Structure 1
Amino acid sequence: MEQSLGFSHFLAQIDHVGMCVLALLLSLSVASWYLIITKSISNYLATRRANTFLKRFWEVDSLQELKAEMKNVSADNNAFAQLAKLALDVTTNSQKHGLEKLAMAGGAGDFLTRTLRNGIDQEATRIENGLTIIASAGSAAPYIGLFGTVWGIYHALIQIGLSGQGTLDKVAGPVGEALIMTALGLAVAIPAVLAYNAFVRRNRLWMAKLDAFAHDLFTIVTVGSKVGDDVKVSSADNRETSFAPATSAAPALEGRQ
């Protein structure tokens, strides 16, 4: 009676090495899909929160009103709000304690620049979390599947040689079953590669937007702190210094590559 071939028969005939390869591919698939789903949801929520915060931020009319508004804004899961809070905290501390602290050596402007840079670097580290696993799954899974295929063909040919039946129908079935490993490797790798490229592009655009906001924030905080609370400005001056996106980049903050 002819023995049926297929994935179930392949699993029944696989040895310990093949099972290890299959388990490794399954682990990579589960890990990559978990990160793909969780990071997609996290990025969507972060983008929505950031857009809401930026809309409220640019509606503020003065630095004093911004400080009052930021007290009611949570900086959790919002990189833009975190940068704004850091900048306002630096301004408040420099006004209260002067420039005597070691961290403020070089002037308030340099200290604000370093603080914004550190905030951007921390956000860059946070959004890159998990990308290594996705990239590893995309690059290594095809080779792991290919190793499983080679190992399966090797054992299939040995069994065929011992049986002495080298006809095409006896060779094609086991060799075809061994190719399942290569298909599984590609099934793991292709979604991981596509997701990795999508996340890298999103992170690049996200960091560019955050860097531009840091330039605007630097200008707003430095200009606002120089104006002071006791200076009276006309309505025309208010229009000129309103919190619209800056058209020129503030000095001392280098753009990220």
Structure 2
Amino acid sequence: MFPRLKSIIAALTVTAAAGASIAPHVAFAQAAPAAPATTATATTGAAPAVQLAQADTSEPGLSAPTSQETVDNPYGLGALWAQGDFVAKGTLLILVIFSIGSWYILVTKLYESLKLSREAKDARKNFFKAANLQEGAGKLKEGSAFRFVAESGITASNHHEGELTEHIDRNTWITTSVQRSVDEVQARLQSGLAFLATVGSTAPFIGLFGTVWGIYHALTAIGIAGQASIDKVAGPVGEALIMTAIGLAVAVPAVLGYNWLVRRNKVTLDAVRGFGADLHGVLIGAKTAR
């Protein structure tokens, strides 16, 4: 009986030992599937927090007003003057002086031409209807070109005798005096036209010189920087081309104004010459100008 009892006790001991060794593995197997659930729970709980953080971060950006900055043109006239050297600035100053001088001459000559046209009508209307030459000259406007011609002819007629000019016949002397006064009026009208012609012929080339100078320095700077992309080339070259545009803007009004003034002065001088010819006939027909 005791041997059988010992064998039963030994079998129970082996079974207990085997159960003790299997229990940890079973517990680990049961605990392992629960870990992803815990991780998923933690991730699910963290996701709203992340979204809330993103929402908190993005909301100030949405509510903040968008600031718009005004950027100055880096290739305008201001940049051309600020970045240009003394040659570029000198070229630009010459073109500005040419432009101011051209417009001044155009305005003053236009006013003078219109004034002479009105004086020509008054001279035809008043001078030759007077009783004598002195009265006719007095009816002309003081300082007008027609009064200057009339007074020159009258003075030549009255002071011909008793001087060295008496060796010149009276007709020739009066003709010379009237023609000289007409030439003085013509010189007064044509003053400034040479400047317009000079500006019209040289301003484009001065602007072209400024462009060549600017392109040379732009390409030199690009070569030193080692960047030849279109955005690096277009800006400086376009800035240099402004000089050519300025030269053309100065030259075109000067040329048009010159041609217009030459044509208008021709019409005005024809009126002055006609008045001088009529005055010459009156002076020759009269013994002395009374």
TM-score normalised over the length of structure 1: 0.78
8 Å CA contact 2:145, 2:185 repeated in 1: yes
1:43 aligned onto 2:110: no
The aligned counterpart of 2:75 is 6
Number of residues of Structure 1 aligned to a counterpart in Structure 2: 219
More relative contact order, 1 or 2 (CA 8 Å, 6+ apart): 1
Match of 2:283 among 214, 217, 221: 221
Q: Which has the higher helix share?
A: 2
8 Å CA contact 2:116, 2:268 repeated in 1: no
Equivalent residue runs for 1:22-101 within 5 Å: 22-60=92-130, 62=131, 64=132, 66-76=133-143, 78-94=144-160, 99-101=161-163
1:105 aligned onto 2:105: no
Instruction: Give per-residue Cα distances to partners, 1:101-131, cap 9 Å, x unaligned.
Output: 1123221111101101111121121111112
The aligned counterpart of 1:210 is 272
Instruction: Give the letter for the 2:153 counterpart.
Output: A
8 Å CA contact 1:105, 1:111 repeated in 2: no
* SS of residue matched to 2:287: helix
Structure 1 residues 104 and 199: CA distance shift in structure 2, 3 A? farther
Instruction: Give the letter for the 1:6 counterpart.
Output: Y
Instruction: Give the letter for the 2:284 counterpart.
Output: T
* SS of residue matched to 2:286: helix
| Offset, 1:75 | 4.3
8 Å CA contact 1:120, 1:211 repeated in 2: yes
| Offset, 1:148 | 0.3
| Offset, 1:4 | 5.1
| Offset, 1:37 | 1.2
1:182 aligned onto 2:244: yes
Instruction: Give the letter for the 2:159 counterpart.
Output: N
The ranges of structure 1 where at least 4 consecutive aligned residues each deviate by more than 4 angstroms after the TM superposition are none
| Offset, 1:100 | 3.3
| Offset, 1:22 | 0.6
8 Å CA contact 2:171, 2:284 repeated in 1: yes
| Aligned-pair identity (%) | 37
Match of 1:150 among 212, 219, 230: 212
The aligned counterpart of 1:239 is none
The aligned counterpart of 1:201 is 263
Q: Partners of 1:48 and 1:71 in 2: how far apart?
A: 17
Q: Mark the structure with the bigger radius of gyration.
A: 2
| Offset, 1:141 | 0.8
| Offset, 1:72 | 4.8
CA RMSD, aligned part only? Answer: 2.2
TM-score normalised over the length of structure 2: 0.70
Instruction: Give per-residue Cα distances to partners, 1:65-107, cap 9 Å, x unaligned.
Output: x32232354441x22221112222222334xxxx331123221
8 Å CA contact 1:83, 1:116 repeated in 2: yes
* SS of residue matched to 1:6: coil
| Offset, 1:153 | 0.3
8 Å CA contact 1:142, 1:189 repeated in 2: yes
| Offset, 1:168 | 1.8
8 Å CA contact 1:145, 1:181 repeated in 2: yes
Q: Partners of 1:197 and 1:106 in 2: how far apart?
A: 40
